[in-house]
Amino acid sequence: MDLSFSPEEQAFREEVRDFLKSELPERLSEKVRTGKHLTKAEIEEWQAILSRKGWLAAHWPKEYGGQGWSVVQRYLYDIETSQAHAPHVVPFGLSMLAPVLIAFGSEEQKAHWLPRMLNGDDWWCQGYSEPGAGSDLANVRTAAIRDGDEYVVNGQKTWTTLGQHANMMFCLVRTDTDGPRQHGISFLLVDMEAPGVEVRPIITLDGGHEVNEVFFTDVRVPAENLVGEEGRGWTYAKYLLTYERTSMAAIGSSKAGLAWLKSIARAEMANGKPLIEDALFAARLARVEIELANLETTTLRVVAAAAQGGAPGAESSILKIKGSEIRQEISSLARRAIGPYAQPFPPEVDMEGSNEPAIGPDYAGVITPNYLNLRKLTIFGGSNEIQKNIISKAVLGL
């Protein structure tokens, strides 16, 4: 048993730290640290910096422009970037579509789409969920009917994250209504600027606009945009769902969130002393910090097993459950920490930066919306109830 990282891994970690120190604009990291929303331009700015370094798709195989990083390297990179408050890279193209293309796409598709991702030419979004389907992803009703060299797509997708910025969507469509419902699903790439595509915002309970509904009315998609074989889309989608599972623990985000929470608890005064010295609050902080330290090692154990060739299986559902609970708990504690200033709803200008002074402490404005927004963690990506069903069946055999 050896919990330390190898000298090579340590050196890699230092390299990541140095890079972040010199290349990550403080303007961006400060927004991330304090929970502000980034504009599309800011996200693209950071992705361009990574692309220049060759790290935008570092987890890809080298032949496609990646670095061929090991799982341990990817873990370290995730932790370091989160703790440095680097913006999150939009994962839909780089981490979700690309692995599918690399595994199942045609040579033409790989040659066309992968370099464009590295170059920042496309903003991809994901079209899996449909209204009323919830965690039942195989419940796909959006129809794609073959018509010569094209598919004609009709239907609706929902919970499309950042779909308002996207020019391309990869999605599951139904090409066959007979037989078991998993069989008639295909994997299609759709131009969001094509006629018949309409994007409507969904305002979430934090007041934010992050997700969307997408409507397709007679949208014509070239048949060359079909990935793999018709009717095998469910297989590809499942491959993607098990990809990058360890990131679900969100250790880096939780560590950064906890550090921010502590700084707030030091600044807030309760009963004449800093809140962090309040016995009950300190106990809650300590509990979540301990849970997080435990989860970090749980995650490392899964990473280490994967590094030795073991595929992370249903155990990674444990990471999703505990990781989401911890992040939610940190966001709840932050809400409690700011006391009455949980109340003011920050106007848009506050979110984007303005010259008007903040209402209450400058850190307070985003806290309640963040708490509300993070309720999603236990719902999306396969609700925690679904994860428990998976563990119960796959791990426990119940």
Partner 1 sequence: MDFTLSDDRQALVDVLSRFIRERYSLSLRRNASQDAPGHDSGTWQQLAEIGVIGALFDPEVGGYAGTPYDLIAIFETLGHGLVAEPVMPVLMAGTILAETRPDLLEDVISGEAIVVPALFEAAGRYDHTIVQTRAAKSGTAYTIDGAKAVVLHAEAANLLIVSAVEDSGDVGLFLVPTDAEGVFLRGYPGNDGTRAAEVSFTSVAVGEDARLGDLSLADAALAKGSLALCAEALGIAEWLKTATLEYLKTRVQFGKPIGSNQALQHRMVEMVVRIEQMRSAVINAAAALDGSDELARSRATSAAKYTIGTSGIEVAEEAIQMHGGIGMTMELDMTHYARRAVLIDHQLGDADHHLSKYIASAAA
Closer by beta carbon to a copy of itself, 150 or else 277:
277
Binding to partner 1 in span 208-237, by CB under 8 A: 211
Residues in the site for a copy of itself, rule: CB under 8 A?
279-280, 283
> Hunting for tokens 């993070």 — which residue is that?
374
The yes or no reply on residue 343 touching partner 1 (CB under 8 A) is yes
Is residue 325 part of the annotated active site? The answer reads no
Q: Is residue 161 at the binding interface for partner 1, with CB under 8 A as the rule?
A: no
**Gap between the Cα atoms of 57 and 158, Å rounded:** 27
Contacts of residue 393, Cβ cutoff 8 Å, sequence gap at least 6: none
Rounded-to-integer distance, Cα 194 and Cα 190, Å: 8
Residue type, position 244, single letter: E
* Minimum CB distance to partner 1 smaller for 91 or for 344: 344
Distance between CA atoms of 228 and 215, rounded to whole angstroms? 24
> Does the CA dihedral 207-209-210-214 come out positive or negative?
positive
Is the distance from CB of 9 to CB of 77 less than 8 angstroms?
A: no
Answer yes or no: are the C-beta atoms of 251 and 323 closer than 8 Å.
Answer: yes
Q: Is 380 in the site for partner 1 (CB under 8 A)?
A: yes
> What is the closest distance, in whole angstroms, from the C-beta atom of residue 273 to a copy of itself in the complex?
13
Q: Give the footprint of partner 1 on residues 74-103 (CB under 8 A).
A: none
Both tokens of 326, joined, read: 């911890």
- Residue 286 binds to partner 1 (criterion: CB under 8 A): yes
User: How near is the Cβ of 333 to a copy of itself at its closest, in Å?
Assistant: 16
28-58 per-residue burial string, b: 16 or more CB within 10 A, e: under 16: bbebbbebbbbeeebbbbbbebbbeeebbbb
Q: Is 182 in the site for partner 1 (CB under 8 A)?
A: no
* One of 8, 14, 15, 136 touching partner 1 (CB under 8 A): 136
Question: Which residue is catalytic, options 210, 213, 244, 268?
Answer: 244
Q: Does 329 engage in binding with partner 1 (CB under 8 A)?
A: no
8 touches partner 1 by CB under 8 A: no
Stretch that binds partner 1, among 27-35, 56-64, 119-127, 287-295 (CB under 8 A): 287-295
158 touches partner 1 (CB under 8 A) = yes
Q: Which helix (H) or strand (E) holds 188?
A: strand 185-191
CB of 1 or CB of 41, closer to partner 1: 1
Q: Are 112 and 142 in contact (CB under 8 A)?
A: no
Does residue 277 bind partner 1 (CB under 8 A)?
A: yes
Using the rule CB under 8 A, which residue among 1, 7, 177, 311 binds partner 1? 1
Which of 145/283 has CB closer to a copy of itself? Answer: 283
Applying CB under 8 A, among 51, 160, 331, 368 the residue interacting with partner 1 is 368
CA distances from 84 to 31, 78, 373 (A): 12, 10, 22
Q: Which residues are catalytic?
A: 244
